[in-house]
Amino acid sequence: MLTPSPTHRLRHSARRPKFVVAATFSILLVLFSPLAYASTGPLNLTTSISGFIAVGLFILAYGLVMAEEQLHMRKSKPVLVAAGIIWAVIGWVYVRAGLPDAAESAFRETLLEYCELLLFLLVAMTYINAMEERRVFDKLRSWMVQKGFSYRTLFWITGILAFWISTVANNLTTAMLMCAVVSKVAEGDKKFISLCCINIVVASNAGGAFSPFGDITTLMVWQAGLVPFEGFFTLLGPSLVNYLVPAIIMSLFINNRTPSPLDESVWMKRGARRIVLLFLLTVVIAVLCHTVLHLPPALGMMTGLGFLQFFGYYLRRSLPRSIERKRTRYSQRGDWRKLESLGSVVPFDVFSRIARSEWDTLLFFYGVVMCVGGLGFMGYLSLLSETLYAGWNPTWANIVLGLISAVVDNIPVMFAVISMSPDMSVGNWLLITLTAGVGGSLLSVGSAAGVALMGQARGIYTFAGHLRWTPVIALGYIASVLTHLWLNAASFSN
């Protein structure tokens, strides 16, 4: 029986208001494939009324997700309802067939895999929110603003930082941080801000493609055991090419002048550096749990959450003494600005950080995982696998799926591929990881980073503005694929 192997990032997932292509693709593959249908559960439901109902529900739910901006409805709602109805239909069919245990077992396996990913992402989001609350990102932004870099330098610095930060933080957080810097420094220069936003989106998506923690899709592939932890780093070269090719071309169109430096002082809150170190330690523990102990990485992440809780307890208990020492020190120096800032100090609370996690994204991923798991149990993923990977060369299939991820969210694309379990080499698993990660850069609605910046830089960074540079970004996409095929040719024979 084919059961979905799990996975998750949190990179968040994005809103993609382009439904027609996804719906057409799904309908053609499911209804008009000439290949024999393959069943993954005891019952083959791919040609049944219940199967068509399930596919229709999933398409309808995903259409509502893509129209999130227009409907002002959270994306988790339709997929949660669709997942419930799909599994209810499966349960009803299997009860009538006298096989209730088969459906229950499949549902529990899919749910267990989701829970492992939920815990992993929840801890990662909590640490990111904790660092944000301790003003780690604000400090970085302040440093950049005060330096008074030229426009071209700022373009490269924000792009390079977005590339590297997105290897550990989700592309949404990374892109919004860099956009805030650009908007602050180049206020009023809409052309430059728009160009920087495009560069940031491409960089943040490319940076997450070669790190197991950089994107939900890479995390999914790693946790499924399809590529070893160190194997992802072979995508560093292709990811850099994906970012550098369009960045070099776009930088030639920048009117290089130097804005006036801004006087803005930001102090990180107490314990900020230690929380960053704890996060790095947590990542190391998660990796060791998976590679050495062969236990789920979620174990290491939850242990790291315990460390953060203990550190939060220490910060709360020692806060009065710390404030008193600082008050004395600042009074002696006559540093009245810092002395005044002590009046706004509040205790650190881990659970308030957990509450700020992207619950809509986490619930959306539950809905996607359960919907795809249900369709897979009915036999549709086996059908899709036969159509795409048996009928085509896996390399071409992975390249096309990367292009589709510019329109369809890369999370269900990657989860569907993993659930199909096509017989591919490590090189091809790395290829789909790369293409699904960077394919979303082709359109502004192709990734969470792009959608977020359209809201943050409303009226400046737009769909049409991004579309004008799509041919240049496509050059980077093609170049990154060719680079992977060249540099990692040996991995395709594994």
Give the mean pLDDT of 71-88: 87
Confidence of residue 83 (pLDDT cuts 50, 70, 90): very high
Q: Say whether pLDDT at 384 is over 60.
A: yes
Average pLDDT of every residue of the chain = 78
pLDDT tens sequence across 225-253: 888 888 888 999 999 999 999 999 999 99
Say whether 268 sits in a helix, a strand or coil. Answer: coil
> What pLDDT sits at residue 315?
81
Summarize the confidence of residues 40-55 as an average pLDDT. 85
- pTM of the full predicted structure? 0.64
- CA pair distance 21, 29, nearest whole angstrom: 12
The residue extents of the domains of the chain are 19-114+358-493, 120-308
Specify whether the CB–CB gap between 462 and 450 falls below 8 A: no
Q: Of 120-124, 144-148, 266-270, 369-373, give the range with the top mean pLDDT.
A: 369-373
Q: What is the dihedral of CA 386, 387, 390, 394, to 10 degrees?
A: -120
77 compared with 411, residue with greater pLDDT: 77
> Residue 31's pLDDT is what?
32
- Rounded Cα–Cα distance for residues 258 and 240 (Å): 27
pLDDT of residue 367: 86
Confidence check: pLDDT of 269 > 90:
no
Evaluated on CA atoms 89, 90, 91, 96, the torsion sign reads: positive
Measure the CA–CA gap between 377 and 46, rounded to whole angstroms.
10
pLDDT confidence bin for 476, thresholds 50/70/90: very high
Please report, rounded to a whole number, the percentage of residues in the chain having pLDDT higher than 90.
19
Percent of the chain whose pLDDT exceeds 70: 77
Higher pLDDT, 64 or 415: 64
Mean pLDDT across the stretch 10-35?
A: 35
